[in-house]
A and B are shown apart, each in its own frame.
Chain A
């Protein structure tokens, strides 16, 4: 069974840092694009970042560029999102999602999603 399990969320002060993790199982991790998507309270979905199977191609939303870093450890089957200089507007549920199809194109979208981890930025 394909599973994605996020962790690492919590309460952090403005300007602080957090590292989110997404542990995956049930598929060949290094064959898939992986995405981070966030959802602010009561709001819609926003693509935050994506990374290809070997970690060589990265992309970020303008709102997080220079503050967030996506990475992956294929030996540990884990995706990460390092978040620095956090702002109140970063408060959201963060989901990791698998790209569609092994060795697929990132723009094919996402298929399997984790349950999300909540990040709250507040003093």
Chain B
């Protein structure tokens, strides 16, 4: 069974920078896994942020960026705002299946 692993929780100060990662149980994550990133706030539907590793949607704030880092997919938030406090999910492609990570709860404190 394929497992996608994210940090369960991270804390960042307002104005700071934080990187969330997304690892695969099958090995290094590459662009061929087409990583996606989503933000979900309590009681709301997920909102797409990044697709195909680093591509932003038209609504994605500039402070969000996607990349590959040390064999993982990564989402970096720069100049973090209080409204960035949320759960963040990655999604990876496995040749037919798409698997979400367990999510990272980001606290802005």
Contact = CB atoms under 8 A, between A and B. Distances in A.
Contact of B45 (A46, A47, A95, A108): A95
Interface stretch (B10-18, B77-85, B99-107): B99-107
A113 B45 contact: yes
* Interface pairs A-B: 4 shortest CB-CB: A109-B36, A107-B93, A45-B100, A109-B51
Interface of B: 34, 36, 38, 45-48, 51-52, 57, 89, 91, 93, 96-103
Interface residues of A, number: 22
Given A108-B34, A109-B36, A110-B48, A46 B100 contact: yes
A50 B97 CA distance: 10
Q: Is the interface of A mostly helix, strand, loop or mixed?
A: strand
A112 B48 CA distance: 7
Contacts of A26: none
B34 A44 contact: no
Nearest to A106: B98
A82 interface: no
B48 A111 contact: yes
A111 B36 CA distance: 10
A58 B80 CA distance: 39
A37 B89 CA distance: 13
